[in-house]
A and B are shown apart, each in its own frame.
Chain A
Amino acid sequence: MGRVVLVTGVAGEFASRVSRALSEQPGVERVVGVDTRPPVGDHGGIKFVRADIRTPVVGKVMAVEDIDVVVHLDVNPSEQSRGRSGAKERNVIGTMQVLAAAQRSESVRKLVLWSSTAVYGTSPKDPALFTEADNARGGTKSGFPKDIIEVEGYVRGYSRRRPEVIVTTLRAAQILHPEIPAPLRNYFANPLLPAALGFDPRLQFLHLEDAISVVTESVLHDRWGTFNVAGPGVMLLSQVSRRLGKPTIPLLPIGFSAASSRAVRMMGGEISPDLYRLLTHGRAVDITALRDIFGYEPKYSTEETFEEFRAAVRPGPLGVLGLTK
């Protein structure tokens, strides 16, 4: 008997690709996607239901469709086009509604949460690599990191109340792919990269293929627990900017957020407010648990992911002059 999978936020580029990949899996009978907007492009074998996860409608969808597995992908950093307050509503209230519906549902046996390594925050007090047992040492003041910590808290609560449901939390590094919206992708699209003077953060990226494989794997197999998902290895921001051929603009760390957002706006680009701290202190995670317990070895390292991304995007000003690798 196949599984019936509910995917939230299916209009998102990543979620729609995940749903299509899931619908092609032999163990999956049907994929139901919910979102407030229909997904763009080919739906493939997905059944799209227009529903707002911030309302109890999602519970009805679960009951009607007889959902086995909930894949909650609708936890995303704010995009400029959709607005910050909307993002918080969607992330936190949306998750609460989905969990409330899943708690009522008799059929749901598994919940997969696409979380983010942003739960670890970023500060000078960070260890070199975060393990799943760590938490944000420097605290998370606002924005997406705060949302994601609350979301994970609600999911843990759900897991306590429904211990028989398998809960898989995937803390993913940012996907770096030209077509998947992510704060770092948008940042790298700027011709000049604002950077904090005197800091060279370590960054990690996740390849789209690995991201989809990990979600598929956790739907098809039972993987309890929380796992970091990222490409092995790290890259420095200075390295990234040189390889892209995009010079950095060193800005004073004090007032970095205001100065960089102004600089980016002048270039017509976009920079997410969640990025400022990441661009100062960086963050890297340990994926030993993913390898040893989850049983997945990422196919692409951080550097390979980046090189693939670099090959796909337009080279920066220095690249035009032939000053890149």
Chain B
Amino acid sequence: MNDDRRTIGTSGTAGRGNRSTPPSAAARSLAGGRAAPKKPVTKAKAAAKPDKPAAKNPPRATPAKEAKPAKPAGVSAEPKPAKSTAGSRPKQPAAKNPSRAPRAGGASAGARKTAASGTGRPPGQPRLRAVTDEDAAAAAAAAMAKDNSSSIIPGGIPLDDIVLAVIQAAQRVLGTDWESKLAAFVAGLRRRLTGDFEVDEFGLDPQITDLVTAAVEPLAEKWFRLEVRGIENIPAEGGALLVANHSGTIPIDGIITSYAVHKYTGRNLRPLGADLVFALPFVGQVARKVGATLACTADAERLLTTGELAGVWPEGFKGIGKPYAERYKLQRFGRGGFVSSAMRAGVPIVPVSIVGAEEIYPLVGNVPSLARLLGLPYLPITPFFPLLGPLGLIPLPSKWIIEFGEPVRTDAYEPDAADDPMLLFNVTDQVRETIQQTLYKLLVDRGSAFF
């Protein structure tokens, strides 16, 4: 018969036996230690001959289950765990175990037999993998620690393939030098946690600034679809005073302007904020760390004379807290203090027009009495804010355009020009008018506020 012939002949690989005969010890030793056992062979045949006793094999030939502990244990010092796991598998029908037992228990083959089976590799190509001491030790530990079925994903993927996949994924995401990047990240984290960083006298922390810039990027680019114009008007070096319109109930325009300046020029914008900013917990702390400081002449002049870019929103609370109906109508530009600071430092004034901030939180109401009670300049009511609770704090996705205008030079004035109030008023009006006209132009360019 077909089967009989096969038991005698040389079909299959040496040392492997065939579906019904366990291989002899001599055959196995001839075939060498790496010979993989017979399971795949029998599996292939089994479909054709269901009536044979060997046909018991197919159901149990879910070979993956056995693959794990056995494979690394190819080092023949580890037959025991393999055997014990074979005996203890609860999912197999008990009847199968006797027929298996002699095979598995025959020799260390029990440990070896499934080396290739997990991946469905043809038996003629034994898995050529150097088994290092660490692998063997790890596998032994894993095999002893737990049932083999738990160290394998049910789909039959060996653990080291998973590890490999994770490593490859890390390489794909972080690049081939992912290890050094990870090490640099951990080192950076350690430096933060041990206080090994420096801040300038204003409290600017460059690492926090970079972090905040990265965090704001999706908000600016994806949510607000920010468009920046006239970035060439910001001097590449030396001091300059950026003067912008203020709006939006919450000073997000300051954050976005800082982001735009940092992204397109690489310089840090030092925003000048109201004292309320620094009185608030967390807000004041972060503001200091990203380089903001109090809007006062001393700080403005100190920044400008040391060649920094300072940003000022002279409308202050009047601009930011104005009702939605008055959007894009500039309020009074402070008392012109920013002009005198720029003149004393001899730096140019860059008018900045911001379109889009007005729509993020449309201010439709105010509760002055409650605001006074809380010590706030106004208590905003927007179409969504108290109504939807925290959801109302999500800014509406308006389209933003920031235009940096032509710089107004101040270094041509007399040294004592900063003490001439009439001149200061004139320059203030000039800057204000420039911004107002640019706002109208940008509004026409933008079209719809949200789409």
Which of the residues A129, A239, A240, A284 comes within 8 Å of B197, measured between beta carbons? A239
How far, in Å, is B283 (CB) from chain A's closest CB? 8
Whether a CB of chain B sits under 8 angstroms from the CB of A253 is: yes
- Tell me whether B294 and A325 are in contact (CB under 8 A): no
How far, in Å, is B290 (CB) from chain A's closest CB? 12
Q: Given A197-B281, A200-B285, A253-B281, answer yes or no on A128-B194 (Cβ-Cβ < 8 Å).
A: no
Q: Given A239-B197, A242-B194, A303-B198, answer yes or no on A126-B281 (Cβ-Cβ < 8 Å).
A: no
- Tell me whether A234 and B299 are in contact (CB under 8 A): no
Which of the residues A126, A236, A286, A324 comes within 8 Å of B199, measured between beta carbons? A236
- Tell me whether A124 and B201 are in contact (CB under 8 A): no
**A residues 195-252 in Cβ contact with B at 8 Å:** 196-200, 202, 233-236, 238-243
Q: How many residues of B contact A (CB 8 A)?
A: 31
B201: chain A residues within 8 A (beta carbon): 128-129, 202, 233-234, 284
Which of the residues A128, A199, A200, A202 comes within 8 Å of B302, measured between beta carbons? A128
- Tell me whether B282 and A234 are in contact (CB under 8 A): no
A239: chain B residues within 8 A (beta carbon): 195, 197, 199
How far, in Å, is A242 (CB) from chain B's closest CB? 3
Q: Point out which of B197, B285, B299 has the most chain A C-beta atoms below 10 A from its C-beta.
A: B285
- Tell me whether A199 and B281 are in contact (CB under 8 A): yes
Whether a CB of chain A sits under 8 angstroms from the CB of B317 is: no
User: CA–CA, A123 to B284, complex, Å?
Assistant: 12
How many residue pairs bridge A and B at CB < 8 Å? 83
B280: chain A residues within 8 A (beta carbon): 198
- Tell me whether B282 and A198 are in contact (CB under 8 A): yes
User: CA–CA, A227 to B74, complex, Å?
Assistant: 80
B22: chain A residues within 8 A (beta carbon): none
Interface residues on A, range: 20 to 34
Whether a CB of chain A sits under 8 angstroms from the CB of B420 is: no
Question: What mask results when residues 283 to 307 of chain A are scored 1 for a CB within 8 Å of chain B, else 0?
Answer: 0101000000000000000010000
B294's nearest neighbour on chain A, judged by CB, is A127
Question: What mask results when residues 137 to 159 of chain A are scored 1 for a CB within 8 Å of chain B, else 0?
Answer: 00000000000000000000000
How far, in Å, is B32 (CB) from chain A's closest CB? 51
Whether a CB of chain B sits under 8 angstroms from the CB of A281 is: yes
B275: chain A residues within 8 A (beta carbon): 123-125
A131: chain B residues within 8 A (beta carbon): 298
User: CA–CA, A123 to B278, complex, Å?
Assistant: 9
A196: chain B residues within 8 A (beta carbon): 281
User: CA–CA, A296 to B198, complex, Å?
Assistant: 24
Q: Point out which of A234, A236, A243, A323 has the most chain B C-beta atoms below 10 A from its C-beta.
A: A236
Whether a CB of chain A sits under 8 angstroms from the CB of B279 is: yes
B283: chain A residues within 8 A (beta carbon): 198
Whether a CB of chain B sits under 8 angstroms from the CB of A106 is: no
Whether a CB of chain A sits under 8 angstroms from the CB of B237 is: no
How far, in Å, is B259 (CB) from chain A's closest CB? 22
- Tell me whether B196 and A243 are in contact (CB under 8 A): yes
Which of the residues A125, A129, A238 comes within 8 Å of B195, measured between beta carbons? A238
Q: Given A198-B285, A233-B201, A253-B281, answer yes or no on A126-B294 (Cβ-Cβ < 8 Å).
A: yes
User: CA–CA, A126 to B283, complex, Å?
Assistant: 16
How far, in Å, is B204 (CB) from chain A's closest CB? 10
Whether a CB of chain A sits under 8 angstroms from the CB of B19 is: no
- Tell me whether A199 and B284 are in contact (CB under 8 A): yes
Q: Point out which of B195, B199, B284 has the most chain A C-beta atoms below 10 A from its C-beta.
A: B195
User: CA–CA, A272 to B2, complex, Å?
Assistant: 99
Q: A128-B302, A202-B201, A242-B193 are in contact. List 15 more A-B contacts (CB 8 A).
A: A123-B275, A124-B276, A124-B277, A124-B278, A124-B279, A125-B294, A129-B299, A129-B302, A131-B298, A236-B203, A253-B281, A284-B201, A323-B193, A325-B194, A325-B195
Q: Could you write out 23 A-B pairs with CB less than 8 Å apart?
A: A124-B276, A124-B277, A124-B278, A125-B275, A127-B293, A127-B299, A128-B202, A131-B298, A196-B281, A198-B282, A198-B283, A198-B285, A202-B201, A202-B203, A233-B201, A240-B195, A241-B195, A243-B196, A253-B281, A281-B278, A286-B302, A324-B194, A324-B195
Q: Which residues of B approach A to under 8 Å, CB–CB? A: 193-203, 205, 275-285, 288-289, 293-294, 296, 298-299, 302
